[in-house]
Structure formats: C-alpha cells, structure tokens
Amino acid sequence: MSNINYIPVGALFKPDPVTGITYYCQGTASATCVAGAPPSGAIPDFRPWGYNQLFVARHGSYSNYNGLIVQWMKQTGRAVFNVNYAWSHTLGIRGGDNDNGQGSGAALDAFNLANNYGTLAFDRRHIFNAAYVINLPSPVHNNLFGEEVVNGWQLTGTVQYQSGPPLQPLTGMGLNPNFGGLSNQRILGTDGIALEPYLTCNPASGLKAGQYFNPACFAMPATRGQNGPLIWPNITGPAYFGSDLGMYKDFKVKESQKIEFRFTAFNFMNHPNSQFGLGNDINLSFTAPGGGNTNPNTTLLTRPKHAVTEKGMAPLHPLFLCPYDRISSARKSRRPVEIARTL
C-alpha cells in the first residue's frame, strides 16, 4: 500500500489554497505571512486531494540479488569437512516492506520510485561457514583400559562469519537523525521526501579503531530546498563471528548398547561480537554549537578513544555520533562448556 496524497515538493512554501496564508514565510510577518508551521487542520489544503492520507495498492517495487558461492567438501578419510563462502549484494527499492526478515528499509522518496533504490536492510556482503569432523588418532595399543579411554575420539567444530548489516536502511531514514526543530516540511516543503543530512565526505572511509562510520561527514540540512543524498555510501555495522568445538566418543556397554560422552565448548575462542551497546549509539543528533551534548552516551563509553565529537561547524553540526565496540570488557566474558552423555 502506498500513500498517493503527499504534499507536493515546495507546496508548503506557497500560499494556502484555501486561506491564502503563507507559512514558513521568510518575509515581514503579517496576517498572511506566518513564520511557523501550518496548523494540522490546514495541512490537507496543500495535498492533491483534500484529505490526509489516501492509500492505493501498487505493484511497482523491484529488487535483485547478486551472489557468488564457493564450496569445498571432503567426505572421505580421517577428516571430513564442508567449507563454503558467499559474496552477495542485495539491491532494491526501500519501500518499508517488512515481509522478509529485517525488511527493505524505510521509503525515502514518495514521488520518484527510483530514488529509493539501494542496498536493502537484509544485505550481507560476506558469509563464511565451515564444519568439520576429525577422527583423532588411536595411539594406545595392547592396553584394554587405555584403548577404551584414549582411542576413538572425534573432534568436531563449526566456524561462522557474517559481515555486518547496512546501517542506513536499518535506522529509520538513516541513523535515526534528529535535526532539532527542522523537518522535511520546513526545509523541503513536503512530507513525501525524507530530510537527509548533507554528506561532506564518505562516512565509511577514514575510520578510527572501533568506528563504523565517520560522524564528521554529516552536516545539518539547513538551506531551504536543498536536501542531502537519499542513498548513502554503504555503511555496515558490526560483523558476527562464532566458533564452537566438540569432542565425542562412544563407549560400548553391551553388544547392542553404547554410551556417548560429549564435551562441547561454545565460542571456544572467546571472540567478542561487537554491538552498539547503548541505546543512542546510532542516533545522529544535531545541535547548535555550544548548546550542549544532546546524547549522554559520550560520558558512558568504556573505550573513550572511539568517541568523535565535531565542534566549530557553523551554523549547526553533529555533536555526537559514536558507534563503538566493547572488546575490552567482552574479553572477560565466560566460555560456556557442556558435558553430556547419551545412552
């Protein structure tokens, strides 16, 4: 379903078709020149049809998946394994569809479908999986007890890696921007196009340790009629890595019965998976210079060297953006181990 009754671009800067009042007026204030926003009751006056929202079922979105998959398998011998790697890129229209996992990402432009084309929210560029079973050597001979205890063990394990998700389609219109009192209606004169920050550089390049994007690349969209790019360079979040290890052995109890002992260690490498640890880590907040930090997380970082604050950018600037990892504390976490038996 799509809304066909958005306010046309720039329409809010023109006189109200019903009352003749110009809102967001930049001239001398008067009864027909009002600097503020129109009241909610006047908004339908600017729409193509004199209602609020009109939804129509449409079938215009499209997407594509491009991938390269490589697999290596060995199924005989002392060691068997299955290793595979996939490089992929999922592109399509970000239309707010949430029928497939994480969804496609929020719609950015209601007037031009092609402007919503970009990396989708469930895109993962690199995926690696490995599973293996190794029959360990049997070094003990001519010793019944030693043969039963030492010989016949199997070593098994899995290794998984998945690159991080794209952050823009997963965080509102892009890093959950907060522009203070500014909005798409005030800057663009419409509610049908997302207001995006200006990009002064590639936010995915020149990163410091622990950063996933560079906050210095974002600037406040404060000029009437000028918007930032709707589709940004691809910014990915933290990757996932997992590694489990197990050892198994069957002990014969009777001719037709056996007992299996199993030792399993989860995340046996104790590799931390980074995440945005605090609620506002991926909120792009703008405030006037000297106005104070609108995001409290800068005082709570476990690794302050990952913090980046930009000051002195006029007239407004992103004061806080600090995606970081918690590797220093995560390395102290426990490694779960299971010991089980099966009859």
Query: Are residues 230 and 283 both part of a single domain?
Result: yes
Domains in the chain, number: 2
Question: Of 148, 208, 178, nearest to 318 (Cα)?
Answer: 178
- Of 23, 43, 59, which residue is a domain's last? 59
User: Which DSSP category does 188 fall into?
Assistant: H
- 242 and 126, same structural domain? yes
Do 145 and 217 lie in a common domain?
yes
Residues 54 and 77 in one domain: no
Q: Tell whether 136 and 254 lie within a shared domain.
A: yes
| Predicted local confidence at residue 255, as pLDDT | 76
Which band of pLDDT confidence, cut at 50, 70 and 90, is reported for residue 292?
very low
Does residue 179 contact residue 220 with C-beta atoms inside 8 Å?
yes
24 & 170 share domain: no
One domain, residues 117 and 242: yes
For the chain, what is the mean pLDDT?
81
Domain end call among 59, 84, 104: 59
Is pLDDT at 216 greater than 80 in this prediction?
A: yes
pTM: 0.77
**Do 182 and 104 share a structural domain?**
yes
Query: What was the pLDDT predicted at 343?
Result: 61
Q: Are residues 320 and 186 in the same domain?
A: yes
Helix spans in the chain (H) = 144-150, 184-188, 327-330
Q: 184 and 305: one domain?
A: yes
Last residue of a domain, one of 59, 74, 93: 59
pLDDT level of residue 339 (50, 70, 90 thresholds): low
Partners of 245 in the β-ladder: 157, 265
Q: Are residues 15 and 102 in the same domain?
A: no
- CB of 121 within 8 A of CB of 103? yes
| Tens-place pLDDT, residues 86-131 | 999 999 999 876 555 555 667 899 999 999 999 998 899 999 999 9
Compute the Cα dihedral for 254, 257, 259, 260 and give only its sign: positive
Range of the domain at 37: 1-59
207 and 284 both lie in a single domain: yes
